[in-house]
Structure 1
Amino acid sequence: MRDLSPVTLVVDLKQRDQTAGLGGLPFGPFDPVHHRTLEAGLRTWVDEQTGLKLGYVEQLYTFGDRGRLTKLGGEDSHEVSIGYLALTQLQRNDAAIPGRGLIDMGGRWRSWYGFFPWEDWRDDRPHMLDDRILPSLEVWAKSARDDKLRPMTPLQRFKLYFGLGSGTWDEERVLERYELLYEAGLVHEYYLDRGLEPPDDGTPLFGHPMKMDHRRILATAISRLRSKLKYRPVVFELMPESFTLTELQTTVEAISGRHLHKQNFRRLVEQGQLVEPTGASSSATGGRPAKLFRFRRSVLAERPAPGLRLGGVN
């Protein structure tokens, strides 16, 4: 496993005591009196409660899954949330966010690969895929009833989303793979949503669970960010002002969950004209001094889709 891992802020949602012990994504109310736009409300809310200054922000989707009910069969109002992808840079001592302002959230930064361990291919194809996930999913897919509203059968979706047969692994299909595991009853949330205890018959459950539908929201955000890498320079929102090409490659690998060939990656960066040398070097690598680069911001005005068009999984 690589040292660098993309992280998400996970908080203790104390008001959801029916799933005590599970964390979730931070959220807060929109105040139309004080917030001119939804995004302005998001930025203000995050700053007040965490002290974080957000960089790139993008609206994802509206979420209102069944798992948002406080109690199955209860009469409480059903919550609907607008999810956002928001990026911020962390310092090495930012592992804990104590929370402040309206709610003491007890926040912690956690690697998103703890929630989706099958998505990290940087050190090779994850063993858990062939050892546990694919056999369990195949049994379910072969026996699952076809949904006439879907264009593909469960078995077809299983093969497509997991790159089986003549297909290839598409790192952007994070949400589809999680949804399939959910349908098959192979994640904890399937049982939480139904007010059930997980079976004790040895059925495997994969990845760390989250409260309500928050793992689905996180999967949506990862899918969107991986896609954005290819046609928008969002990765530079996560980079310092100056960086080496090795640091840039390591960051792209951490987000995409893929190992990238060094020379091919550098060729992509050069062809995209996304960076420019600063004229300085870094000796922090421990070896020969490495040239420092910075994001060439003028590229944003030169063409509409300046990104890193990564090829297939190595």
Structure 2
Amino acid sequence: MTTAPHLAQDGVLIGLSAVVMALKEGEAAALLIHGEGGEAPALPFGPFDPSAHRTFELALRDFVEAQTGLPLGYVEQLYTFGDAGRDLPRAEMGAGARRVVSIGYLALARRAEAPERPDARWTRLIDCFPWEDWRKGRPSLIDDRIAPALRAWAGGNTTARARVDALFALSGLRWNEERVLDRYELLYEAGLVPEAARDHGRSAAEPLPGLALASDHRRILATGLGRLRAKLKYRPVLFDLMGDRFTLSELQRAAEAVAGLKLHKQNFRRGVERAGMVEPTGTLSNATRGRPAELFRQTGADAVGHAPGLSLPAAR
């Protein structure tokens, strides 16, 4: 990349942010780096060095493993985050750096292995976005705090009110689990998350529950979760979070943990089996209570290279 030295000279650095997700104790979790002295947690983040790395992805894999001891499996590029005015407590990586262009990546791990570094920890996604968990029904947080605060913020602006209703399933509208980033950005715009007060030099009022992250890393994390939820429906990415063998109940719980939805058991199983995504192994699991459950494995792509996603039939 021949332009990198010029960019660095102009005070622009290319950073790489990793949204590393896995299932930990039945919950979708992200790997975060926790600093000392009350510093906000951050995603694994590092600079791209064109003299040391041939590609962005190789650089990402190297520094994530160096920071956490965790080798990455599935990786895909998310988005380039280059807004001026980003708060940069973690991202400013050089003297005189004025701006960091951060390229976000989504990475999946089959096991939430304990990181080698003590400051790297798995954190439940619902701890960062508690309003995104609908597995036990509509979160009371939405009606008790989010909806009143957002409607007060929107006032008589019909466009803003329609945006509030659409994103948080108000006025009888349907919840769209994929719009994680849109919801977080609306809460930020309305000043309801602590990052908004921090970035604008204001004292925080009563921010909503949810773990605040360094810089714009919660925005990047929201992008990763929204992307993964969308991909569940057209690519078999859920299997990149599973072990080699699993019960259908374990597969459903994994899908629910990622999507934040309670799924209809029989319809989910019929959809998985009809699509030919799994096959029985001929062995039983002893990890379940009561009757042992049959273990399955992923079949992979079909003969013409198709690898379907999952049907997500929500329970009513």
After TM superposition, the score normalised by the length of structure 2 is: 0.85
> Contact conserved, 1:235 with 1:252, CA < 8 A, in 2?
yes
Correspondence for 2:210: 207
* Structure 2 residue matching 1:6: 3-state secondary structure: strand
Following the alignment from structure 1 to structure 2, what is the Cα–Cα distance between the partners of residues 139 and 262?
39
**What count of residue pairs does the alignment treat as equivalent?**
288
Q: Percent identity?
A: 52
Correspondence for 1:228: 231
Correspondence for 1:22: 40
Following the alignment from structure 1 to structure 2, what is the Cα–Cα distance between the partners of residues 33 and 67?
26
Which runs of structure 2 are paired with 1:59-70 in the superposition (5 Å)? 59-65=77-83, 66-70=85-89
Following the alignment from structure 2 to structure 1, what is the Cα–Cα distance between the partners of residues 54 and 76?
16
State the Cα deviation string for residues 24-50 of structure 1 (Å, max 9, x = none): 111111122232211111112222222
Cα deviation, residue 284, structure 1: 1.4
> Contact conserved, 2:268 with 2:313, CA < 8 A, in 1?
no
1:306 aligns with 2:312: no
**Equivalent position amino acid for 1:193 in 2:** D
> Contact conserved, 1:4 with 1:250, CA < 8 A, in 2?
yes
Cα deviation, residue 124, structure 1: 1.5
* Structure 2 residue matching 1:86: 3-state secondary structure: strand
Correspondence for 2:187: 181
Following the alignment from structure 1 to structure 2, what is the Cα–Cα distance between the partners of residues 283 and 69?
49
1:133 aligns with 2:146: yes
Find the partner of 1:262 among 265, 281, 294.
Answer: 265
Correspondence for 1:285: 288
Query: CA 1:51/1:176 → structure 2, altered by over 3 Å: closer, same or farther?
Result: same
Find the partner of 2:176 among 166, 170, 174.
Answer: 170
Correspondence for 1:124: 137
* Structure 2 residue matching 1:280: 3-state secondary structure: strand
Structure 2: gaps (5+ residues)? 1-23
Following the alignment from structure 1 to structure 2, what is the Cα–Cα distance between the partners of residues 121 and 166?
16
State the Cα deviation string for residues 106-156 of structure 1 (Å, max 9, x = none): 111110100100101111111111111111111111256x8xxxxxx2111
Following the alignment from structure 1 to structure 2, what is the Cα–Cα distance between the partners of residues 143 and 75?
44
Find the partner of 2:32 among 10, 21, 27.
Answer: 10
1:115 aligns with 2:131: no
Which runs of structure 2 are paired with 1:22-61 in the superposition (5 Å)? 22-61=40-79
* Structure 1 residue matching 2:154: 3-state secondary structure: helix
Correspondence for 1:244: 247
After TM superposition, the score normalised by the length of structure 1 is: 0.85
> Contact conserved, 1:138 with 1:155, CA < 8 A, in 2?
yes
> Contact conserved, 2:111 with 2:243, CA < 8 A, in 1?
no
Following the alignment from structure 1 to structure 2, what is the Cα–Cα distance between the partners of residues 121 and 180?
19
Structure 1: gaps (5+ residues)? 100-104, 147-152
**Equivalent position amino acid for 1:175 in 2:** L
**Equivalent position amino acid for 1:61 in 2:** Y
* Structure 1 residue matching 2:30: 3-state secondary structure: strand
Correspondence for 2:101: 80
Following the alignment from structure 1 to structure 2, what is the Cα–Cα distance between the partners of residues 189 and 179?
11
Following the alignment from structure 1 to structure 2, what is the Cα–Cα distance between the partners of residues 161 and 286?
39
Q: Structure 1 segments of 4 or more deviating over 4 A?
A: none
* Structure 2 residue matching 1:264: 3-state secondary structure: helix
> Contact conserved, 2:263 with 2:314, CA < 8 A, in 1?
no
> Contact conserved, 1:68 with 1:79, CA < 8 A, in 2?
no
